Structure 1
């Protein structure tokens, strides 16, 4: 059954979130992280044998479920085998059934939402996340995932409203503030994003995260004077960041500089 998801380091999670602003990382589903590890394709005889065994197990669980549709052991077993076979789509229906049987199990519902995202069912994931959010509005991880799905569905205003309302109640939650600033930038609200980053920088000048966020926000601004401030902020963020992240931040600074180089206008002669 669902394993607890691996915990991403705060620095790595933040860097991935912030790099999304300029599109260097594919956006979608970065909040919860991977919730299972599939076996993946392999041509080795050993892997083929394991695959055959898993398929046989899955058939056995399905046979049990034909007789006993609400059997939780068979449902969990089928979910596990489908995920190990790298067939998450086949895990959705038994997982939905299990959620129906255990409606108060937040981990199961969150797991279903993640798999729905992974398989492209964003509306289904949204429905499950909304249920989780309504039952516990203070769960910031669910809140951020819900905002991410709204953003992926092209609804930035709903995502912004969710996060702004939460911050009225919990203004000290920097993870949510960073996520809100990120969405501001994606929604072309650079001034709001920069103001939020400046508040966080003033509160803790040693934190590289808002400095990096501000650098990325300014690097994508339409105002040339604002873009000119980005390189110094990238370097400041690199100095403040943990050593293992400095090189990645400097690489992003170089990419940003390349994107912002004025393109030479080449004169072309018109052919007769």
Structure 2
């Protein structure tokens, strides 16, 4: 079997495995509804009154998208690795031609599709609920690679968590411990001026910051295309690094 067929068949199997878990399907797509209902409501209550939600609603589009791009890959890939380890699946995979990075790539492709659909739903709900307008320009199509690369990056980090956590519960706990600080300290919902001056340079250490800056440049601030592409390039390099690290640490046997 060729490499392309191995990846394709593994991706197809991962997609059907996701669809069979009805609870996972429900909450994957219901989660954006909750996020928009809660956060968009809060944004509209204080449009100019100061505090965290003092910016116009469109400012927070990167934050809404970051929720699904960040949380879902971390928990899904990490839990999948923990589940495979508990079920001795890696021992079985070691007897096949499928390589570790091919398996992780297949899991990543499934997540790109799932989260891409969830992100599209979230973006549509944001437009309907808050009344914001997303620029309909050719450059706006860069949202697609931003979401895809962001998902790949956090799939790599999720793989690392799945390998180092000792159980599925440990993966969930570790995912939340990493995701929650990143979500609010990466120029998503909290503007840099609200952070202590000594902490602001550290925001650049978060990979989610480059996702937020790039998406905001496309949907709100109208940044030059060069600045948007620079953020996408940085995000892509980080995605390659974390994907490679996650693939290397996937166990060959249990």
**Same fold per superposition (TM over 0.5):** no
TM-score normalised according to structure 2 size? 0.22
When you count helix as a share of all residues, which structure comes out higher? 2
TM-score normalised according to structure 1 size? 0.20
